[in-house]
Every structure is written in structure tokens, then in C-alpha cells.
Chain A
Amino acid sequence: MEIFGINIAVLIASLMVASVPIMLAAIGELVVEKAGVLNLGVEGMMIMGAICGFITAVHTGSPMVGFLGGAAGAMALSLVFILLTQVFLANQVATGLALTLFGLGLSSLLGQGYNGIKPPRLGDVPFGPLENIPFFGRVLFTHDIMVYASIAIVAAVWAVLKYSRAGLILRAVGESHDAAHALGYKVVRIRILAILFGAAMAGLGGAYVSLVRVPQWTDGITAGAGWIALAIVVFASWKPWRVLIGAYLFGGITVLQLNLQAAGARIPVEYLSMSPYLITILVLVIMSSGRGRASLNAPAALGQNFHASR
């Protein structure tokens, strides 16, 4: 099946791969924002995950250990955010922006000497004969473990937020930290855990970029994926399954524009490259203009610092 010389099965399969980093980062940020914390440092945490994951994978020779290293690197960076916003009550927007700038710089420093190296390859999950099913075999059963893991994580986050007591408490903290505190919940502790989870997810996403998507290390390798992840959380109006849809949408546009470039479409390359970002802006404008539903679903205490007075 081909349209404009683009194979649809290959297109879908590659958009599933392309959307993994933003999906992971966005689902992590969704949990953070559900707890009432706005962490704009996703881009910084992603790129820290990318370089730390890359370094770990190169030295251990195992991509799976590399992913753990990526998550750990991003969590280490998020400790700065936790210290500033949860302990010293600094402004979350400013701290998040600083975190991104710091992460970009630090990753560049750590990455000295890693340019041009090939990381160990992450193989596809073997499904045997399933891969030979026409169309669906190519689309569904030719991926690496992280593609399936990212979807499983979205499902898990959805189930935990909707059905578990821990999820209810997390939402309560993001809705009204004062009321949660009055009921005896440890607001700051819950938020710190949420931030760490968000950082781990961003780190996994970043490591996926440098270990699978590209796969090599260059400065600024995440190229704004963290910002798109932030936009997807708003696009998804803080609902996990919509994060999946949003990530596929943006992943799809990224892949499509690459394919169009390769197919020699008569649109200047610059317009194609900027299209994912343009679509992001467009979606945010549309979501924000319909004030009613989208803004209603935002956690009420989003971005507010909590200090237990008396």
C-alpha cells in the first residue's frame, strides 16, 4: 500500500518509534502536573537522559542498562528542581526554564568525546511468525521493547490515576494542597515522588533518542522534543490516553515530513522541518481558545508552591 510513494505500513511503524520519546516525557510530565507541579525543565531532563543513557550504554555495552542510566541522570538533574521549588519554594516556571538551560549545557559538557561513537544496538522483540502477518505484522510486531513499554506505561498511569488510592491522593494534592494537608497527606513528599517519576520518564525518552532514534550523540540532540511533550500534556487535557494520541499525532507529522522530503515533495524542506512545531503552536492556540473544557480539567493547584503554615 503506497501513497505518494510512501509505504503506509512503514510510515505507521516508524511513527510509533518516533513518538516514543515524547510519549514517555509527556506521560511523566502529566503525572507531575497532576500533582500540581509545573516542571518546564522536561527538555533539560530529556537531554540529560540522552547523554547519561548514551554514556552508560557505551561503557556497559548494554542498551537496557543505558536506559536505566538515562533515567538516573534525569532524576539527578531533577533534584535541583526539587530542592529549589519544594524546599526553598522558588518559582516553578523560572526554575524549570533554568533547569532546561542547565541540562543543555551540562549534557554538552558530559558529551565531550562521545561524538561519532555508535552505541550498542537495541534489538527488536522477536515475535516469530507474527511478523509475517501482512501489514499488521510490519506495523505491530517489528519494534524494540521500549515501544511496547511506553504504551504499557501510559496504560499503567491511566489505571493508577483512575482506580488506585495512590492516584486519588496524587490528584487531590494537585487539586488543593491545603485541603490535602488538612486531611493529613504529606503534600511535599508526594510532589517530590511525582517529580522524580516525571524525571525518570523524561530520562527514558531522552535515552531512546540517543540510543535508538538517531542513534549517536550530538549536542542538542533532543531538538525541542521536551517542549512538544509539555504541549502534548495540555493537548491531552491531562488525560493519559490522549497523551498517546497526541504523541502519535506529533510523531506522525515528524515522520511524514521526513518521508515527504525523501519522496521529493515540492515543498521547501524548511517548511517541512518546522511543521511539527507549527502544529504544536496551532494545537495549543485551538485548545486554549475553547476556554471551557480544557481549562476546567487543569489541576487547580498547578504551579503553586505549598508551604504548611501553622
Chain B
Amino acid sequence: MTGDTLLSVEGIGKSYPGVRANDDVSFRIGAGEVHALLGENGAGKSTLVKMIYGLVKPDVGRMMLRGKAYAPAEPRAARSSGVAMVFQHFSLFEALNVAENVALGMDNPPPMRELSGRIREVSEGYGLPLDPARLVGDLSAGERQRVEIVRCLLQSPKLFIMDEPTSVLTPQEVEILFRTLRQLAAEGTSILYISHKLEEIRALCDAATILRRGKVVGSLVPKDVSAREMAEMMVGATLNAPARAAGKQGPVALRVTGLSVPSPSAFGTSLKDVGFEVRQGEVLGIGGVAGNGQDELLAALSGEIRTGRDVVQVHGRGIGDVGPNERRRDGICTAPEERLGHAAAPDMSLMENALLSGSVRKHLTKKGFIDWHGTRAFAEEVVKTFDVRTPGIGTAARALSGGNLQKFVLGREILQEPEIIIVNQPTWGVDAAAAAFIRQRLLDRAAAGAAVVVISQDIDEIMEIADRFAALNEGRLSEPVPTQGLTIDQIGLMLGGAHGMHEAEAHHAGA
């Protein structure tokens, strides 16, 4: 796709205390071009798009939009210049309805009734049907993203920025999204696309700019290179795919039968008759779009939600009625998805956070007193082994970037050497190199005889490390199937809940 330059960024730089987020970044996007922005966590992609969207002001450098100087003081100015953005973490309000959410993202919204009509019209025109009167809290992740996209489309943007749009979508939803984006590009809208998923970028994008540590390290045409080459340019090193030891599976370590619990939160999903078993040395991957009961399943396994004694069994012994610390003693460690506030206490230091989860298995308390010496050693081990980038273990968890905190949380659980480890979204927001490392450590745990349950939305991740795959959909778990020979289409159907569910139910009824 050729054409005139729409946006050119020239020598832009931005520093934060102690960090050079962007350093002399230059690139250009043509009209109607789908342009990818690639880079690891902390490479400066988010800062860069925030500058384009007017949320952050650059220290040096300039931007040109359609040949004119462009320096938005705030998002409103960016929007009026024709720049729209869909955020990585949705900027939606759960207690408001779709039309109200759309209105909030517009500068001069028409009256509500007219707006509802236009939402219907535009959303159907792009194959993204939406009901304007529904509460956003009741929508699925895919539908929520539609709200964001429709909100942008209503302002007929010239440049459309998407920050990690596919991380919460099923393969089928990704297909729909890509069709919409191609349609937009064909109509002359430029798209700036940020993603970790390199295969998607190869399928969608016309050009790519690669950032590393705040600098542009290359630009390329994604269709001409392999995903592996792109990843290596991003990281600046050779990547090794996780190695899987030949599976030696032992007896069943974790068995869950007939697990039905109501969700503790108003917008959550209740679990309905979930059952599975995991053997020693086995990795079970549980796929599904977020909000289908993942958080509840993890809570039921970690002990935050208590159930009947025999619903959750470890080595044939019922533990469903005991809390997290007793379960840790029995060898179960868990890492929830929400890093701040669930997996880690935001305002406490890494050392204190290490103690909170590790005190039982690492014997960090003695007669009611804290063994700070041991705690320090444990926290330092986690930071060192998992390459957590932090000034020190006295730093508050809140101060770490998402990817770094994720490494810390995963490291803390894995280094407790659990016999059963359950993780939810283990590599969410983590860059390629760190993700590969985390997956490798999970596989190592399995090789050492632990039962591993990986709950993830990332199908590639599950295919890479899991032995068996099950889909969680609206609180129901499908029958686990071996990952070998499973195609992406079959997985998509399982995630959509169209297939496997009835068989699974029949199985449980018979069991």
C-alpha cells in the first residue's frame, strides 16, 4: 500500500527519571498503511503512542501529520486531528451502557437516541454488531473491544492506534478484527498496530518498526521475514524455544470433580460442574477468553474459595475445605492473573511480598517471628533467577512495570518448588525472551515431577507447553484432549463452546 505519508515522527525523545523511554525515534506511516510497532516490554512502544495520542509530551523532536506540524497537547486535540486509539487495558466503564461509553470518548457527541442509531449503523457496517443499550459490564472481552473500536470509528479517524488488541480475543474474534482493519485500511485509514504476536503482524501489517530500549533498531516488511527473525531483532539475541523433556507421567496428583461455585464478584462467571485431573509431570493447559471463570477456577484451587472436602483432591486426599496456607503446605502454589492487588500487595516491598506467599514452604517464620535473613535470601534468589529488573528487593511492588512484576510473582511460586502449580496468564504482558524463560521454568517443574496447570488466553502458549488442552467457556470446562495434532480451528471451536461441551457434560453425568 503506497500513498502519501500520513504521519512522520522525527527524532522524538522522552525521558523519565532514571529511564530513557524514547531516544531519537523516527519513522513514518503512509496513508492506508498498516504499520506495526514491535518491541519488548519497556522498549518504549507505549510511551511513543501516548505521545502521538497527546497523553504524554515529548522532550525533543517533532511530528508531522499530513505535512503540518503536529503537537497535541491533550487527547482531545489528537482526536480532533483525526488520531484515535484503542487501549491495551480497556478504557471502558462497566456500570455504564455502550452508548454512554461511546459518548464519553467523543468530543461533541450527538443526542443519545441519534448516537444509538449511528452505533448500530457503524458497528454493523464493519461486521461488529453491538447493542447500544447494554451495560458494558455484561459484555465479553471481544464485545468490549468492539465498543472501543466503534467509539473510534464514529469519529472517522485518519490514524487508528491499536495497543495489543488481540491479547483477549479468540482466534475467530481475531479473524473478525482483522477483516475490519483491512476494510479500514482499504478505505484509506492508516493503522498503527502494537502487538507481541509476530504471526499476526506477518498476516496483517504492511510495514514494521522495531524498538529496543527506546531506540529504533530496524524497519522491515513483515511478510518478507520469519517471525523468528523479527523476535530476534526485538530482543537483540538468539531465542531458544522451550525444550520439552520426554513426558514421564506419574500417578494423578490433582483431581477436581463436580466443582460448582458461584462467582464472588458481581460481573464474574460461576463455575458449573468443572472436573479434570492432572498427573505428576503433566502440563494441563486451560484455554478460554478471560472472564469465562478463570479467576474463579484459580480461586477454588488456591483455597480462596472453599468447597466440599472431596471436590479438590491432592494425591487422593480431599483438601477442598482448607485455606491457601494449608494447601501450600500440601504442595499447591498458585499465581493469579491480577498481579497488583491479588498476586502482590502493591504498597509492600518485594521482600515482604516474597514472605507473604513463601513463608509456609520456605519456613520463613519461626515461632511467630519473621526470619528476615531467610526472607531476604529468598527474595534475592527470585529477583536474580528470574531477572526481575528492580532497584532492589526493598522496592514496592507497585513501582515495578507489569512484566517485571509478573516475573517476580511467577518466580516466587516456582522457586517454592511446589508439587502442584497453577498459574493464570503466566506470561501476560511479558516480552518474548522473558515469556520463553517462564515457560521453560514451568516445563522444568513438570520434568521434576510436578503437576502443572496453565490457564491462559494465549493459544500458542498452551500449544507450546501443554500436554493436554481443555477449554473453559462460561464456567464450563470441556473434556481435556491431547494437544498433539490439535488444529487451531478445533481449538477455536472448543473456545467458542460449540464443540466438546455436550460430550463433556455427558461424561460427567456418567462419571
Which residues does A use to contact B, with CB under 8 Å? 165, 168-169, 171-172, 175-176, 178-180, 182-185, 292, 295-297, 299-300, 310
Contact = CB atoms under 8 A, between A and B. Distances in A.
B100 A179 contact: no
A292 B74 CA distance: 39
A300 B93 CA distance: 9
Interface residues of B, number: 25
B91 interface: yes
Interface in B245-283: 266
A73 B266 CA distance: 41
B197 interface: no
B75 A184 contact: yes
Contact of A165 (B16, B54, B103): B103
A183 B91 CA distance: 7
Contacts of B89: 178
A292 B93 contact: no
B92 interface: yes
A172 B104 contact: yes
Nearest to A299: B95
In the complex, the 9 A-B pairs of residues with the closest C-beta atoms, listed nearest first: A184-B75, A179-B91, A182-B91, A175-B93, A184-B76, A172-B104, A175-B95, A172-B93, A184-B74
A172 B105 CA distance: 11
Interface string B78-114: 0100000001011111111000100111000100000
B412 to A, nearest CB: 24
10 contacts: A168-B104, A175-B93, A176-B92, A176-B94, A179-B91, A180-B93, A182-B55, A182-B91, A184-B55, A295-B266
B16 A183 contact: no
Contacts of A180: 93, 104
Given A179-B91, A182-B91, A310-B56, A172 B266 contact: no
Contacts of A165: 103, 109
A171 B96 CA distance: 9
Given A175-B95, A183-B91, A168 B266 contact: no
Given A168-B100, A184-B74, 16 more contacts: A165-B103, A168-B103, A171-B95, A171-B96, A172-B104, A175-B93, A175-B96, A176-B94, A179-B90, A179-B92, A183-B75, A183-B91, A183-B105, A296-B266, A299-B95, A300-B95
Contacts of B104: 168-169, 172, 180, 183, 185
A180 B101 CA distance: 10
Contacts of B55: 182, 184
A182, A183, A299: residue with the most chain B Cβ atoms closer than 10 Å: A183
Contact of A172 (B75, B76, B96): B96
Nearest to A179: B91
A176, A185, A300: residue with the most chain B Cβ atoms closer than 10 Å: A176
A297 B16 CA distance: 39
B187 to A, nearest CB: 25
B164 to A, nearest CB: 14
Nearest to A169: B104
Interface of B: 16, 47, 50, 54-56, 74-76, 79, 87, 89-96, 100, 103-105, 109, 266
Contacts of B47: 310
A295 B265 CA distance: 11
Nearest to A186: B74
Contacts of A296: 95, 266
B93, B94, B103: residue with the most chain A Cβ atoms closer than 10 Å: B93
Given A168-B104, A184-B74, A176 B109 contact: no
Contacts of B266: 292, 295-296
A304 to B, nearest CB: 11
Contacts of A182: 55, 75, 87, 91
Contacts of A175: 93-96
Nearest to A292: B266
A236 B92 CA distance: 25
Contact of A179 (B16, B50, B56, B93): B93
A176 B93 contact: yes
B276 to A, nearest CB: 31
Contacts of B50: 310
A182 B104 CA distance: 11
A296 B103 CA distance: 22
B340 to A, nearest CB: 12
A183 B76 CA distance: 8
A296 B137 CA distance: 11
A271 B499 CA distance: 66
B91 A300 contact: no
B474 to A, nearest CB: 20
Contacts of B56: 310
Contact of B94 (A183, A184, A185, A300): A300
A172, A180, A184, A299: residue with the most chain B Cβ atoms closer than 10 Å: A184
Contacts of B96: 168, 171-172, 175
A175 B91 CA distance: 11
Nearest to B89: A178
Contacts of B76: 184
B47, B91, B96: residue with the most chain A Cβ atoms closer than 10 Å: B91
A138 to B, nearest CB: 42
B97 to A, nearest CB: 11
A185 B94 CA distance: 17
A299 to B, nearest CB: 8
A310 B50 CA distance: 9
A165, A178, A182: residue with the most chain B Cβ atoms closer than 10 Å: A182
Contacts of A176: 91-94
Contacts of B75: 182-184
Nearest to A184: B75
B264 to A, nearest CB: 10
A297 B79 CA distance: 32
A116 B481 CA distance: 85
Contacts of B87: 182
Contacts of A183: 75, 91, 104-105
Contacts of B79: 184
A33 B16 CA distance: 34
A91 to B, nearest CB: 12
A259 to B, nearest CB: 41
Contacts of A178: 89, 91
A301 B93 CA distance: 11
Nearest to B105: A183
B159 to A, nearest CB: 16
